[in-house]
Structures are given as C-alpha cells and as structure tokens.
Amino acid sequence: MKKYTGKGVYGAIAIGKVSLFQRQDIQVKRLHIENEEAEIERFEEAKEKAVSQLKEIYEKALVEVGETNAQIFEVHMMMLEDDDYNDAIREIISNQNMNAEYAVATTADNFATMFAAMDDSYMQARAADVKDISNRVIACLNKEEERLTQSDEKMIVCADDLAPSETVSLDKDMVLAFVTAHGSSNSHTAILARNMNIPAVIGLGDVFLKEIEAGSLAIVDGFTGDVIVNPEEEILKEYEKKQKEDVEKKELLLKLKGKENVTLDGTKINVYANIGSADNIGAVLLNDAGGIGLFRSEFLYLENMDYPTEEQQFLVYKKVLESMATKKVVIRTLDIGADKQVDYFKLDKEENPALGLRAIRICLTRPEVFKTQLRALYRASIYGNLAIMFPMITSVSEVEQILGICESVKKELKTEGFEYSDNIELGIMIETPAAAIISDKLAPLVDFFSVGTNDLTQYTLACDRQNPNTERFCDTHHEAILRLIEISAKNAHANGAWIGICGELAADTTLTETFLRMGIDELSVSPTFVLKLRDTIRNIDLGKVEI
Ligand code: PEP
Ligand code: MG
C-alpha cells in the first residue's frame, strides 16, 4: 500500500483500477523482425481492431454530439483504409524488415509532414488526424497499453497533466476519476472534472507518475487529495463506507430540488450552472439550476478539427436554449488562447500567453470568426432566453467595438431575412482588475456583469493559474479580490445592471454570505454544486449583524 497526497479538486471518492493516460506521441521502438508476413498480419489485425473501436466511438458520438461532430471518426476510418497509407506501412515491414509499430509511426510522421506542408488548411489539419489514427493502431499492436476507450471497465485515469482538449476527448463514461502529477486547481481540466462530477486529484508529483502502474487498485479521495494505491483490506473497507456516506449526503441534497434559493431573512438569489457542452444540460436540469450562468462556448471550438461553421454552432446553441426553455442561458463568446489552444487558429507562440492574444482580443483581431459566432447566437436567440457575455474585457473601447459588431450582425441578419430576439441581454466578464476598476464606465454600456474570479485572481495577484508553484501565493480570499468584486457590484447596481459570479469562487460556501451582503444577484457554479449552494443560502441570515 502506498499513499500520495495532492490537491483534491472535486470532492467525491472513487475506487477502481488505474489506467495510464496515453499521449499522442507514443515512444516506439525500432526492431528488426524475422517473419515479415507474420508482422504484416499483426498490423492488419491491429488495424481492424482500430477500425472497430472507431466505429463504436462514431456511434457513441452520433448520439452524444450529433452527426456533424461525429463525422471526424468516419474520416478516421476512411484514412485507416487508405491504400497509400497501408502500402507505405507494408513496404517498411517487408522491405526494411522493421516491426509494425515502427512502420506505422514512420508512415504517420511522413504523411503528417506531407499534409502539414500543403497549402489547403483542411489538408493541413489532417496531419493531426493521421497521427491520431496511427497512435490508435500502435496502441492496438501493443495490447498491454490499450487506449482508455478500449476498456469496458470504468478506470481511474492517471496522467502527468491533461490539456483541456485531451480531457474533452476522453470517454467520460469510462472515467472514474482523474489523477494528475501536475496541474493546478484553477486549470480548465480541474474545472471540467468538477463539471463532469468526477473525483479529481492534481499535483501528485513526478514520483507518483514514476511509481504508478496500470491495473493497480487505487482509492481517490477528492476531498483530501489522497490517492492510495493497492490499499490494505481495512483501508479499502473504510473508504467504501466513506464513499457510501458521500453518495447518501448528495442524495439528501436532492431533497432541495424545487426549493427556492432564499436566505432565512427572505433575500433571494439566482443560482445558475456553468457548462462547457450541450452534453452537460442533463446535469443542469438534474440539479435544478435556475439557468445557465456560463456556457464556455470555446469547447465547441476545442472539440472540432476546424472552425465550427455558423450552422453547426446555431444547432448547438438552439439545442441548449430549447432544453432550458424560459430559463436564462448566458453564452460566453469564444475564449481561447492561454491554456486553451486550438491548432487550426494557428496562434503565434507567446512568452506569456495568459497576457497575450486571448479571448475577446482574438475576436476583435479576427472579426470574421467573431461574426460567425454572433450570427449563430442571434439566430438561435428565438428558441429561448439568451444572454451573450464577452470575456477578458479591459476597456470601454473594446465594449463599444463589440456593441458595434453586434449591431452590424443584427442588420446583416435582418437584410437576409433571419429572425432574432429583441430581448437578448448583453454582458461582460469582470475578470481583469482594469474592468473592475472602471466598472462605473462599463456598467452603463451593458445589461450585466459576471465576475470571472479564476482570471480575476490570477491577474490581481499576479499568479499564473496554470502554475502549481504559485498556488501557495494565491489567496483566493485576498482582500484585493473581494474589494474589486464589491466595487463592481456597486457600479453595476448604480447603473441598473445585475451582477453575478461565474468563477470557481462562486462555489466557495465560506464566501456566500459575503457575496450576498455585497448584493451579488447570481452565483453560477458547476451543476453538482447547485444544491449544496442552495443549502448554504437557505441557512444564511442576512438580518443578523456581521461580527
Ligand atoms: C474565470 O476566469 O473565472 C472564468 C469563469 O472563465 P474561465 O475559467 O473559463 O477562464
Ligand atoms: Mg476567465
């Protein structure tokens, strides 16, 4: 038995077998083989297995993310059957007497280089696909290191770190818990784990990664950050009990469904949910959120191999709005850059990406991308109660430009005969100190503010949210942050705007009373936190004088 301690980012307990997350760039050995025919047969078998895995994934994606998004797996199947690709692999095996893994990896490199050099951006994007399908074949060849998608058992996924795009691409139904050697609690991977209701522990260190073995039994305690590998019988029993109690406690919270978010003295507040995909709607409804306070639309871009089209986006927004009926849905426009990198945007590598071209800065630099999203949003607006929110604002002129672009999009749509709602609220995120400080100037321009405490904390305290070394200097309750929120709340209300908080701090129940006293109108949290927050609110008495 061995115990490691990291940082728990979603409180729940998982018990199960460990699966090591396999990166795209698998280390492949170059080996001479004696029997080329047998090696070609090995390759053919692995390829067949890869195709049947892709078929399964395609079927699942069809149901979960719709046909447009599922198509990529059809393309992958076709690529695996491509004659040139197959001939190149067979030739390396038979003419150079090399092992199948090496032949597949070399062919993947050659094809990827060829695709990357093409002028057509669609073909360039196929470089990543050929690597992906080849890695799948290599994983099938190396049966001991099967990809996670092959397992029919739910596993605890262990990785050095997981990029948001990697997290989204995991088969969520097969993940019991996330455990990473690195990473920080405000990273998007941690946020995704919370959104997905999956126990997660991060920052377990390199030793953990070195020692952990695939298939070992482990306990993940997302409350304490403990990960226990090969637990003794007694410890296992103790944790099984703890897990049962936790499930029961969460079930008890379900009794609060249908109840109001109201304090003992009668103050009401909206409790909404944060989502990253239309797939999360089930959790939003299940946990009885009053609306969606933050739909991180960038995950639509992260999941795609190319710019999602207006039609593709329209269908997703429409689905979310229709599912929420009359409840408010705040969709945040594209917020990529920094830790959320999307290859096909071809953004320059930056020294300080968090301070670089990200979020609204990309939208204002590439108005065609921004306009496509806005057109999709406005068209979808007639299907529900839409509010649009813009991230990473630092100045009045940015907001003026945004409002100008919105007006021109509306005009365009009208001329083309498209309908859109007249009641769309427009708001901005307060996630830079600049925005909070000039919130008196920004508030008259918008209908609402939503405080992004994750970025507001990183920018106010100069603590990179991706860097685990700065976590100890990153006091999320720092007075500077609370003052910035308070200033923003005052300025919002003085100008007839409402204010919410959608960063992770909204779920910190030790601050709920403070936020209520500031007059915060809405708190938006991961769906699984909605009822816990409701419980906290219902036990607060604002009538009592604070000591
Ligand atoms: C935030 O910064 O608090 C926020 C909600 O946005 P994100 O975490 O997606 O950057
Ligand atoms: Mg942010």
pLDDT of residue 149: 42
Ligand 2 center–CA 488 separation, angstroms: 16
Residue whose CB lies within 8 A of the most ligand 1 atoms, among 332, 334, 336, 429, for a mutation test: 429
| Protein residue closest via CA to atom 9 of ligand 1 | 296
Q: Are residues 456 and 531 in the same domain?
A: yes
Sole residue written with tokens 């070399």: 106
- 544 Cβ contact partners less than 8 Å away, ≥ 6 residues apart: none
Whether 412 and 367 have beta carbons less than 8 Å apart is answered as no
Q: Are residues 305 and 220 in the same domain?
A: no
| Protein residue closest via CA to atom 6 of ligand 1 | 452
* Residue 246 forms part of a structural domain: no
CATH no. for residue 434? 3.20.20.60
For residues 167 and 9, what is the distance between their CA atoms, to the nearest angstrom?
15
| Protein residue closest via CA to atom 1 of ligand 1 | 452
Q: Are residues 284 and 357 in the same domain?
A: yes
Instruction: Report the 3 state secondary structure along 192-217.
Output: HHHHCCCCEEECCCHHHHHHCCCCCE
| Protein residue closest via CA to atom 4 of ligand 1 | 452
Q: Are residues 207 and 345 in the same domain?
A: no
Ligand 1 close to Cβ of residue 339 (< 6 A) = no
Q: Are residues 336 and 428 in the same domain?
A: yes
Q: Which atom of ligand 1 is nearest to the CA of 504?
A: 3
What end-to-end distance do the CA atoms of the chain give, in Å? Answer: 47
* Residue 544 forms part of a structural domain: no
Instruction: Report the 3 state secondary structure along 15-77.
Output: EEEEEECCCCCCCCCCCECCCHHHHHHHHHHHHHHHHHHHHHHHHHHHHHHHHHHHHHHHHHH
Structural domain of 8: 2-22+148-235
For residues 463 and 455, what is the distance between their CA atoms, to the nearest angstrom?
9
For residues 324 and 145, what is the distance between their CA atoms, to the nearest angstrom?
42
Ligand 1 close to Cβ of residue 453 (< 6 A) = yes
Whether 229 and 216 have beta carbons less than 8 Å apart is answered as yes
Ligand 2 center–CA 457 separation, angstroms: 10
Catalytic residues: 188, 502
CATH no. for residue 172? 3.50.30.10
Burial class (CB in 10 A: 0-12, 13-18, 19+), 534: buried
pLDDT of residue 126: 76
Ligand 1 close to Cβ of residue 431 (< 6 A) = yes
CA nearest neighbour of 430 among 472, 487, 469: 487
* Residue 253 forms part of a structural domain: no
pLDDT of residue 129: 78
Among 141, 172, 197, give the residue marking a domain's end: 141
Ligand 1 center–CA 187 separation, angstroms: 9
At 451 the three-state DSSP class reads strand
Number of domains in the chain: 3
Ligand 1 close to Cβ of residue 452 (< 6 A) = yes
Print pLDDT tens along the chain (547 aa): 999 999 898 889 999 999 998 665 567 888 889 999 999 999 999 999 999 888 887 786 666 555 665 677 788 899 999 999 999 999 999 999 999 999 999 999 999 888 878 877 667 667 777 887 888 899 888 864 444 444 568 899 999 887 655 666 677 788 999 899 987 776 666 776 776 778 999 989 999 989 999 999 999 999 999 999 999 999 999 999 999 999 988 888 889 999 999 999 999 999 999 999 888 898 899 899 999 999 999 989 988 889 999 999 999 999 999 999 999 999 999 999 888 888 899 888 898 999 999 999 999 999 999 999 999 999 999 999 999 999 999 999 999 999 999 999 999 999 999 999 999 999 999 999 999 999 999 999 999 999 999 999 999 999 999 888 888 899 999 999 999 999 999 999 999 999 999 999 999 999 999 999 999 999 999 998 999 999 999 999 998 765 5
CB contact burial 373-385 (16+ within 10 A = b; e otherwise): bbbbbbbbbebbb
Strand-by-strand arrangement of the 155-159 sheet: 2-5, 226-229, 217-221, 13-20, 155-159, 175-180, 200-202, 7-10
Count of other CB atoms within 10 angstroms of residue 541: 11
Task: State the ligand closest to the CA atom of 164.
Answer: 1
pLDDT of residue 162: 77
pLDDT of residue 374: 98
Ligand 1 close to Cβ of residue 293 (< 6 A) = no
